[in-house]
Structure 1
């Protein structure tokens, strides 16, 4: 007779794998961190239309990335997360088609100003995943570009565009543009910091694909120092934004606590850790500010 406890554990792992590797988790992360950008602008209306677009486009891009990526990593096809992704390949194809249709419709309904703002990050994001270059290369397959491309695209889409569209009609233009610039650097540094552990995880895969990254050139110790420095600088910028009224106490404290927790996770990083640590915990740091914000608001209202 099958042990019901083992059955429940097996079902739990199946649900966890589906959530993490069907790209829903990373899409929720994108929705959460974009939403938080709007919450820092507490006097503005939250654009749920744009937030839904960000979630759907993230689901599309990461599904495409995983479908194409497993075809470029044949030697790892039966190992770890690659075997799980192959299991959900048909799901990923369906999600790609549905989310692509949703994104195309929404992009069509956007005004021209937003379309222009999205043009560059959208082109970079698609080039990251699609093999459109000579020899079937993707943009991520060029040496050293991957981590900087990820940080730039995530910062532009989840921070720069919400900030720009929210404050572009205010009168203090120099102050606003300075705020947008600082907020973008803050977000880019955070994304850069949490992407470094993924570079460490992917070192062997990148070497097998003849792709040079920071992790193929530097030791884990050096990379973790770089990540921690990025988080320290991001914390300083967040405090500076607080002095410029771009953050309130309600929004600053969750950010500082998130960066502190992220620093601890970076410190614990090593190449052989379970992928649950990377895809599960490190990606989830993008959800943390929103969770901590609501917890703080709930506590203050007691």
Structure 2
């Protein structure tokens, strides 16, 4: 049992799970817009997420705190290096315009982590900015990247899906911010820090309502997609309502981050 626990912790700490969530959303984009040649984008999203998230999580520990490299950290560093090579291989096979989009989100990731300006902290520590950068990167990588790579025009439907996905990711991040309320730096000024947990849950609930209402703007309305999104929104809402500072890390890092994977699986099952 202890070995399984260590394996699960490594799976989460090495960002493989969040990488699979990104992979699932890219695949969903391929399904929704009938993109057949999407393997390179999906794998680039998967491996790039592992590299990006591990860089964000462990860069400060390695550069500033000079943390001793434990066995797990060495394994994560090795996995990140291999993922970097795999992401680079996939990047080569992307279209020219897609590479530009990917480079833009790389800059956002670096800006999120590294202090580029004198006497300034990185974007991660800019008050209230973190949640928007993360949600925007998720939408960019999981939607805009495969759309541009396939040469699909930016129609109203694309922007509706983008807004829906942004709202859903935003609410998922709110759940993380509630759980991390005790450990987050007060200077981050996360949503729960500024308006409190109760109001954060109200805001999240309203955003999920907006997520559903946007579905009615699609023409023609697809009831199967509506019911599926209703189920996903209700699942996210339950996670939001029952989120507290006392929840374990698995509540968000495993279960909440499994929602995109669940969404993709249900989409395939009912299609």
> Given the two structures, how large is their TM-score scaled by the length of structure 1?
0.80
Show structure 1 runs of 5+ residues with no match. Answer: 1-8, 78-84, 170-175, 298-302
Aligned residues: 269
Matched residue of 1:149: which SS?
helix
- CA shift, 1:158, in A, is 0.6
Give the 3 Å change call, closer, same or farther, for CA 204–68 of structure 1 in structure 2. farther
* 1:258 CA drift (Å): 1.0
Per-residue CA shift, 1:22-80, capped at 9, x if unaligned? 111010111011111111123x3241111000001001011112212546997xx9xxx
* Unaligned 5+ runs, structure 2: none
Alpha-carbon distance between aligned partners in 2 of 1:279 and 1:73, rounded to the nearest angstrom: 25
1:251 CA drift (Å): 4.2
Match of 2:129 in 1: 145
2:89 to 91, 105, 130: 105
In 2 relative to 1, CA 136–100 (structure 1 residues): closer, same or farther, beyond 3 Å? farther
Deviations 1:183-241 (A, max 9, x none): 11111101001000111222233326x32222221110011111111111111113323
Change (3 A) 1:108 1:48: closer
CA RMSD of aligned residues (A): 2.5
Task: Look up the match of 1:255.
Answer: 229
Aligned position for 1:67: 58
Q: Residue by residue, what CA displacement relative to the aligned partner does 1:246-293 show, whole Å, maximum 9, x if unpaired?
A: xx5554433221111111110001111111101011111111111112
* Mapped pair 1:288 → 2:265: no
Quick one: higher RCO (CA 8 Å, sep 6+), 1 or 2? 2
Does the 8 A contact of 1:250 with 1:293 survive in 2?
Answer: no
1:178 aligns with 2:169: no
The structure with the largest alpha-carbon Rg is 1
Query: Secondary structure of 1:51's match?
Result: helix
